Amino acid sequence: MLFYATEVLLVFLSLLTFIEASDICHKPDWNNNVNGKKLPEFPIKIFENIGPQSCFKECQAHGNCFSANYDRKQLTCQLLDKKKNELKPLIDDENFVYMEMTDTVSAGGKTCGDVLCNNYSTCIRTSSKKMTCIETDCAEPYPVLNNGIISDRTFGPISATYSCSPGFTSVGSGNRITCRPGGKWSALSYRCEPPGVWFDNSIYIVGLTKETWTGAQNICMNKGAKLVVIQNEQENEFLRRLSRDIGETVWVGGTDSTEEGRWTWAESTDAMSFTAWGPNQPNDYNNQDCLSLYMQYNFTWVDRDCLDTYKYICEKNLQ
């Protein structure tokens, strides 16, 4: 039975010949396959236009493959780094056959002649009949993108393309990364921001739960943002329109809790350079120290008790 390492044909074409599978690891156990089932796992590698026997051999030769899903309809082979278990059982899919390496329990059991292949290598036989492991995959796992997914992968050359999950906004254009066999991933200059509204160079995220001013501030900080800082008339009018759409009073990031009558933004100790107070505001009624866009005053600035609970607006600067 023959195996050919498809990922390194261009580099190793002069060295490679077909492989005798019995020299690599184990003989195929065709009694350990399940028709109409697959293991719902993220494949470590995918081969197209391949038969089931070749799929099994690819799994035998790969240092980190312990099972495979074979799609009989699409003729594709998914190599997996896990086996079925009680916590991850097989699921029904009439197009698939599930295959498992019954005698291999860890990467340390994948022999290649006299050596062991690591989890990013494949066992091949050179033209001099010597069994050896060659690096065919990236040495690092796929990077995790918060609020994002891997939307496409290639294996020769090795690459991964990311996109944002539904409802999240992409920032940056470097969503495709590459890796040489045995190497590290290139930098991912791309991120996925929470749902929000854009204005100028910021994204504004509306908090739909009612919180105290401090609670709202903490939630914004946990999102990598801040309670909104209003810097000019244009931004103020934008936020008033946004608040009207919300239809309720909202917290913004101003306070005079440190020094009465000296209003600052929470991120700074400097006095505000722009203000838009409503009529007779701020009045410090019952020690009101936190800033809101107050619905009853047509969403102008009004000081409120910091323990009152309102919705809020977080701001994340994208520069």
CATH 2.60.120.40 fits 197-317, yes or no: no
Sketch the domain layout of the chain as residue ranges. 6-135, 148-193, 197-317
Residue 306 has what pLDDT? 96
Residue 15 has what pLDDT? 34
Residue 31 has what pLDDT? 53
Q: Write down the pTM of the prediction.
A: 0.60
Hey, do 6-135 and 197-317 end up sharing a CATH topology, with the first three levels equal? Answer: no
Mean pLDDT by 10 residues, the chain (319 residues): 35 35 44 88 95 92 93 96 93 96 63 85 86 93 94 94 88 91 94 82 90 96 92 96 93 94 90 94 91 96 96 88
Angle at 282 between CA 281 and CA 284, to 5 degrees: 130
Residue 319 has what pLDDT? 66
The number of CA neighbours under 13 Å toward the Cβ of 4 is: 12
How do beta strands 176-179 and 189-193 pair? unpaired
> Cα 125 to the chain's mean position, in Å?
37
Task: Identify whether the C-beta of residue 38 lies closer than 8 Å to the C-beta of residue 98.
Answer: yes
Residue 48 β-bridge partners = 76
Closest CA to 134 of 236, 49, 272, 19: 19
pLDDT in tens, 28-82: 454 578 999 999 999 999 999 999 999 999 998 999 999 999 999 999 999 999 9
> 6-135: what CATH class?
alpha beta
Task: Identify whether the C-beta of residue 68 lies closer than 8 Å to the C-beta of residue 57.
Answer: no
Query: Could you give the 3-state DSSP secondary structure of residue 244?
Result: helix
Residue 263 has what pLDDT? 95
